Amino acid sequence: MGHSRFKEKMIHGLFFLNGLVAVIVLVGIFALLVTKSISAFREISLSQFLFSANWNPTATFVAPSYGIWSMIVSTFMVSLGALCIALPLGIGTAAYLSDVASARVREIVKPIVEILAGIPSVVIGFLGIVLVGPVIAKVFHTTNGLNALNGSILLAVMALPTIISLSEDALKSVPKSFEEASLALGATKWQTLVRVKIPAALSGIIAASMLGMGRAIGETMTVLMATGCALEMPKSFLDSVLTMTSTIAIELGEVPYNTTHYYALFAIGLVLFIITFVINMISDIILHRYEKVIK
Amino acid sequence: MNNVKIKVEDFNFHYGKTHVLKKVSMDIVANKVTGIIGPSGCGKSTFLRSINRMNDTILGAKAEGRIILDGRNIYDDDIDVVEVRRKAGMVFQKSNPFPKSIFDNIAYGLRINGVKDKYYIHERVEKSLRDAAIWDEVKGRLNKNAFELSGGQQQRLCIARALAVEPEIVLMDEPASALDPTATLKVEELIQELKKKYTIIIVTHNMQQAARISDFTAFFMMGELVEYDVTSIMFTKPVKKITEDYITGRFG
Ligand SMILES: Nc1ncnc2c1ncn2[C@@H]1O[C@H](COP(=O)(O)OP(=O)(O)OP(=O)(O)O)[C@@H](O)[C@H]1O
Ligand SMILES: [Mg+2]
């Protein structure tokens, strides 16, 4: 008796430890970003950092400037663009899989969607350069197709698996009784889907898209390869853009240690961290509330 | 019998390999309450769901024979299922309001039918709620979520929702099984009121209830229609011994 109690306590402790490690790592990363960023903000004012679009940390003849506003705008532009593409496609596919497709089709399509999630981002970026880029250049008559639109398309492809499988789960968990009630009133399958099932699954779908969005914002390699990396305030989706992640990836390797520039890159990381953290948290809250409603 | 609303002819139903309804034939009379009784698993719900083709949604289900509604076999290839379901509304055993407001629950059936006129929708919503004897309880809170209502109120809301699209037939699958005696009584009174306008088919496990509310009673067993007659005859001098045994509670 005492023995099994002890064992239970051990297992309990082990799981607690696991959770603790995850939290410590998270807090550690956050602390690292904050301490390094603080050094940056000794030199740069926070408002200038966030809202000035002038990023020129290696200026020699004038004072260096550290404004990341154009990168923030670029990041959101590419990510929101991705969401605009991925959301209708993702919800459509999820609805198709949960409501229309035969069991056979579903068994073929679902693994394919999951494989899509496993494609390395370098490969997707590569496709952006050799495939999506030329197509964009041809369609919109631009010199090269490496721009925000290209990034959005690629990120959409990367966000799709998350959005599809979570939205499908959400649609699947809508009680069958809602569907039957709607059909019995003379609603078509389509009306039932649009007016009953999707609204009932909405919070799940929103959570899914926010997770997809969180992933898109933090994605680096694909964006780096496909968006052209031009440091400018973007005016349209056909402009080349430089996102926050690209800046860090490009500059961190070459920047001298412990300079303001070096710290400023950490500060960009902190901003990214906060943005994705907030997005994930919101989606988590929505998801929890949604689970309660379903029960 | 005169004034037949639904004519069931040699109707068979299968779920995959299970033969659930066997050669059922019966005439259902307009503006009367027809009660369906029988032991659990005998196919009552399946029979009810065959009349509005709700079984279509079940994989591997197969129907044979005819169910003729107003002269048209609803299992003909060129029949519009949506049309059938508008004619034959359904109230489920477990109340199933949508996670929407009380108002939107009732208005749903109108809106999917393309009704846009707000005034008309308001009018219909009120009328349906009155017909379902729940208006006085909800009139002050039509914008509240339907899940805030009690179980009995939710069931009457579902009845109102079915009435809102003005069906001709109302199919009820043990509508009172989850209700307390008072709510049950309300629903029973309501059914008496409704038969003036609608043809009602109701499944029930409760013999007293069947005797109280139905004009005709059909007794099913193992997928077969054993006996079908005017309720007073069924409950006093049924032809078959087995019917009598069931009704008097000697089994089942
Ligand atoms: N979706 C389904 N798939 C396969 N078999 C089913 C399905 N629904 C019902 N059945 C079977 O069909 C038979 C009749 O079921 P039905 O629900 O019509 O019975 P019932 O008379 O309504 O019973 P109860 O009084 O318990 O509600 C049962 O044997 C049941 O197991
Ligand atoms: Mg049943």
**For residue A294, is pLDDT > 60?**
no
Domain annotation covers residue B132: yes
Q: Which of A178, A184, A199 is facing B85, going by the closest CB pair?
A: A184
CATH number of the structural domain spanning residue A290: 1.10.3720.10
Residue tagged 């992933």 (tokens): A215
Residues of chain A positioned with their CB less than 8 A from the CB of B90: 184
Residue of A nearest to B109 (CA): A185
Gap from CA of B173 to ligand 2 centroid (Å): 7
Residue tagged 């009120």 (tokens): B126
Q: Which of B83, B96, B162 is facing A177, going by the closest CB pair?
A: B96
**For residue A1, is pLDDT > 60?**
no
Residue by residue, DSSP assigns B146-202 as GGGS-HHHHHHHHHHHHHHT--SEEEEESTTTTS-HHHHHHHHHHHHHHTTTSEEEE
Number of domains in chain B: 1
pLDDT value for A88: 93
Domain annotation covers residue A59: no
Which residues of chain B fall short of a pLDDT of 70? 1-2, 251-252
CA distance A184 to chain B (A): 6
Domain annotation covers residue A213: yes
Residue A214 pLDDT class (50, 70, 90 cuts): confident
- Judgement on whether residues A250 and A125 belong to the same structural domain of the protein: yes
- Judgement on whether residues A105 and A248 belong to the same structural domain of the protein: yes
Residue A285 sits in which domain range? 69-256+269-294
Residue B61 sits in which domain range? 4-247
CA distance A205 to chain B (A): 16
Nearest ligand atom owner, CA of B172: 2
Domain annotation covers residue B95: yes
Domain annotation covers residue A121: yes
Domain annotation covers residue A214: yes
Domain annotation covers residue A264: no
- Judgement on whether residues A127 and A26 belong to the same structural domain of the protein: no
pLDDT value for A48: 92
pLDDT value for B123: 95
Nearest ligand atom owner, CA of B15: 1
pLDDT of B67-120, one tens digit each? 999 889 999 999 999 999 999 999 998 889 999 999 999 999 999 999 999 999
CA distance A113 to chain B (A): 25
A50 against A3, higher pLDDT: A50
- Judgement on whether residues A13 and A92 belong to the same structural domain of the protein: no
Domain annotation covers residue A263: no
Number of domains in chain A: 2
- Judgement on whether residues A7 and A125 belong to the same structural domain of the protein: no
CB contacts under 8 A, B 35-54 vs A, are 52, 54
- Judgement on whether residues A287 and A168 belong to the same structural domain of the protein: yes
CATH number of the structural domain spanning residue B205: 3.40.50.300
Gap from CA of B39 to ligand 1 centroid (Å): 11
Tokens of B232: 């007073």
Domain annotation covers residue A53: no
Tokens of B128: 């349906």
- Judgement on whether residues A118 and A190 belong to the same structural domain of the protein: yes
Dihedral, A15, A16, A18, A20 alpha carbons, nearest 10:
170
Residue by residue, DSSP assigns B84-119 as HHHHEEEE-SS----SSBHHHHHHHHHHHTT---HH
For residues A208 and A82, is the Cβ–Cβ distance under 8 A? no
Domain annotation covers residue B252: no
Task: Decide if A185 and B112 are in contact by the 8 Å CB cutoff.
Answer: yes
> How far is Cα of residue B201 from the mean position of the Cα atoms in its chain?
5
Task: Decide if B86 and A185 are in contact by the 8 Å CB cutoff.
Answer: yes
- Strand blocks (E) in chain A: 55-56, 65-66
How far, in Å, CA of A253 to CA of B48, rounded?
Answer: 72
Tell whether B83 lies on the interface with A, counting CB pairs under 8 A: yes
A58 against B218, higher pLDDT: B218
Nearest alpha carbon, ligand 1 atom 31: B41
Burial class (CB in 10 A: 0-12, 13-18, 19+), B14: middle
Residues of chain B positioned with their CB less than 8 A from the CB of A185: 85-86, 89, 108-109, 112, 161-162, 165
CA distance A200 to chain B (A): 7
Domain annotation covers residue A226: yes
Q: Which atom of ligand 1 is nearest to the CA of B223?
A: 14
- Judgement on whether residues A101 and A12 belong to the same structural domain of the protein: no
pLDDT of A183-212, one tens digit each? 999 999 899 999 999 999 988 888 888 888
- Judgement on whether residues A273 and A227 belong to the same structural domain of the protein: yes
pLDDT of A246-275, one tens digit each? 999 999 999 999 899 999 999 999 999 999
Among candidate residues A208, A215, A272, A232, the one with its CA nearest the CA of residue A55: A232
- Judgement on whether residues A84 and A197 belong to the same structural domain of the protein: yes
- Judgement on whether residues A35 and A177 belong to the same structural domain of the protein: no
How many Cα atoms within 13 Å fall on the side-chain side of residue A8? 5
- Say how many CB pairs under 8 Å bridge A and B: 64
Task: Decide if A187 and B165 are in contact by the 8 Å CB cutoff.
Answer: no
Nearest ligand atom owner, CA of B54: 1
- Judgement on whether residues A23 and A109 belong to the same structural domain of the protein: no
pTM: 0.81
- Report the pocket of ligand 1 as residue ranges, CB < 6 Å: B 15, 18, 20, 38, 40-46, 58
Task: Decide if A185 and B161 are in contact by the 8 Å CB cutoff.
Answer: yes
Gap from CA of B204 to ligand 2 centroid (Å): 9
Listed ranges A41-50, A282-291, B170-179; the one with the highest mean pLDDT: A41-50
Gap from CA of B45 to ligand 2 centroid (Å): 4
